[in-house]
Structure 1
Amino acid sequence: MNLEEGLLKGDKKACARMISLLENDDKEAINIIKRLYKNTGNAYVIGITGPPGSGKSTLTDKLTKELRNEGKRVGIIAIDPTSPFSGGAILGDRIRMQDLALDKDIFIRSMGTRGFLGGMSQATWGAVKVLDIYGCDYIFIETVGVGQSEIDIVKIADTVLMVMVPNLGDDIQALKAGIMEIADVFAINKSDLGGADKTQLEIEMNLDLNEKSNYRPPVIKVSAVKKQGINMLLENILEHKEYLERTGELNKSRTVKNRNLIIKLVEEELMKIILDRTIKEDLDYLSKDVTDRAIDPYTARDRVIGGAISTGVKGYSFKK
């Protein structure tokens, strides 16, 4: 059974292999996505983000089990930070969800960021499409948890769940617009601790100032460890899904996301072409000139792009 056939039949090994190939930018895997893209669009993508230590993994675990109780097939993409030194990742989320891995209708994949900012991995979009073709009804993407800059999840997820915890110590920072504006549902985890009511009030007050036009994100108090409020949280996530479908916002949102994706893929491919036509020694030469202030970075950029466009072959030299 080849990869394409295995993916369509819901084979876990084929799914895992496809994601690994996409992480390495394999051309055959990309061609398989091209051929099977008509089979996508059925999975609903839920992004789970929030500060480190807020309990995103535990909450993902509990929400997944609730969906499985309803007979849904679930995919989980857990993004872990990659070491800037070794290039490795701990991939701890898979360890914390080991019991889920035994379920034939749950697929868990840990992915390292590999240096990409925004709490995401470069191959996340491809992994989502693979899981969609594989037959998942819902796909959770749990982001790294890097704070206020972690907004890339909104470019992929249909619903963004923001997980907060009481007593973070810097409430105003936590409620800044960059993060507040991407959330469709708020969950205050560990709400059995003191300060949950205060955190809920602060979020509600902030929403009063940044209210979305026709939809106000609900703020739900939960305790993932004690399994409190999970049903209500899932109900609110599904209510947001129903709202998007009923108003036509789901298709509109996905169209905007696809536009941004096309631009991103074009940027990546153009970068590969330009760097492929620029030898390392030339980049080193330009970099030294910028350091010595013989030229500025913008001029260096123009020379790299101009050289790649004018020659169309590898080995163009910028040296005088």
Structure 2
Amino acid sequence: MLDVSKLVQGDKRTAAKIITLIENNGAGKQELLSMIYPHTGQAHVIGITGSPGAGKSSLTDVLIKKARQNSHKVGVVAVDPTSPISGGALLGDRIRMQEHALDKNVFIRSMGTRGCLGGLARATKDVVKVLDAYGCSIIIIETVGVGQSELDIMHYADTTLVVLTPGAGDHIQTIKAGIMEIADIFVINKSDLGHTKKIITDIEQMLDMSPRFQTGWRPPVLETSVVNQQGINELWSAINHHLQYTDQSGELQAAVCQRLSIEMMELVEEELRNKLWVYFNENNNASNLLHQMVERKTDPYTEAHKFLNNFLKELC
């Protein structure tokens, strides 16, 4: 068993080993996470999401710099797509952040999605806990390039940035449901390319029409350029303002409670699914039952109901 006390004391090698164990779903993972959990809850988690090529990695890089200038210890989880053919991942986001490699107060971990949908890797939420216990006061999660339905980041981050670029396509995309509704801050990146007025107008009109944004926090729409270093200070201020607002309004605590309820039910579902598979495979009549369904002598709906009832009776 890895030493959690070393993790809490800020030992980088221990943090890396624990994250590797979690990613590989190694033995003792649940017990280890249970020991880590009491040391979490201090970090501000910032999610950065958007379509491929929006400049998420470059934006992450400049936010690391801002955080370090403000004496924060920073953790970064950069998620890259996994090849459906080879199973490998390029993990190119780490290449863009090489200048922070020697900073002992910056921990960067690249992860492949490993077939997980939603723009994140399956182990992301547990890796965030490790970095939190490790002492990171700012944790940045950069999602894989996403479309309109990869919304998992909203269940992981305290502040979600949706990164867009001018001239990247039909502006009607900005009023579609999905990823546009999870933003706490809209970032029009690569503003040095020009043509930002139209997309800003479209987003503001979308916010005006959405009932969700009529009260409480209204996401600001900010322009940034990593090339010209424009808008970075304003973005950093907006991130801190959002955290302050949600903390004072109680929205942050409510979001954490919702996040934990979802996580607990996911763990229950996973445990229950594993037990159901074991029970099904140990059922001597399983093969015969499957053949009966193939021959249409019975149906999966009826048999699923019977199966669950029998499982519950045995539990009792």
1:217-262 alpha-carbon deviations (Å, 9 max, x no partner):
0000001233211111111011000101111211111011111111
Residue among 235, 242, 245 paired with 1:243: 245
TM-score of the two chains, using structure 1 as the length reference: 0.89
Structure-2 change in CA distance of 1:218 and 1:293 (3 Å):
farther
Q: Secondary structure at the match of 1:228?
A: coil
Residue among 205, 222, 225 paired with 1:223: 225
Distance 1:59 1:292 in 2: 57
Q: Secondary structure at the match of 1:45?
A: strand
Structure-2 change in CA distance of 1:77 and 1:286 (3 Å):
farther
Which residue in the other structure is 1:95 paired with?
95
TM-score of the two chains, using structure 2 as the length reference: 0.91
Q: Note the 1:2-151 alignment, pairs <5 A.
A: 2-151=2-151
Residue among 256, 279, 282 paired with 2:281: 279
Distance 1:299 1:113 in 2: 36
Q: CA deviation at 1:299?
A: 4.0
Q: Secondary structure at the match of 1:140?
A: strand
Q: Secondary structure at the match of 1:162?
A: strand
Q: CA deviation at 1:99?
A: 1.6
Q: Secondary structure at the match of 1:48?
A: strand
1:194-223 alpha-carbon deviations (Å, 9 max, x no partner):
321111111111111112521110000001
Q: Secondary structure at the match of 1:192?
A: helix
CA contact (8 A) 2:165 2:191 kept: yes
Which residue in the other structure is 1:171 paired with?
171
CA contact (8 A) 1:58 1:225 kept: no
CA contact (8 A) 1:274 1:304 kept: no
1:81-131 alpha-carbon deviations (Å, 9 max, x no partner):
122233222211112212222211011111121222111111111101100
Which residue in the other structure is 1:187 paired with?
187
- The CA RMSD measured in Å over matched residues stands at 2.3
CA contact (8 A) 1:162 1:186 kept: yes
Name the stretch that deviates more: 204-213 or 302-311: 302-311
Structure-2 change in CA distance of 1:223 and 1:309 (3 Å):
same
1:273-304 alpha-carbon deviations (Å, 9 max, x no partner):
22233339988877776666555443454465
CA contact (8 A) 1:161 1:185 kept: yes
Which residue in the other structure is 1:214 paired with?
216
- Read off the aligned partner of 1:227 and give its amino acid letter: Q
Distance 2:303 2:145 in 1: 35
Which residue in the other structure is 1:202 paired with?
202
Q: Secondary structure at the match of 2:35?
A: helix
Identity of matched residues, %: 48
CA contact (8 A) 1:22 1:127 kept: yes
Distance 1:118 1:254 in 2: 19
Structure-2 change in CA distance of 1:44 and 1:135 (3 Å):
same
Distance 2:286 2:191 in 1: 53
Which residue in the other structure is 1:315 paired with?
none
Distance 1:101 1:247 in 2: 37
In the alignment, structure 1 segments of 5+ residues that lack a partner are 313-320
CA contact (8 A) 1:51 1:145 kept: yes
Distance 2:303 2:52 in 1: 39
Q: Secondary structure at the match of 2:191?
A: coil
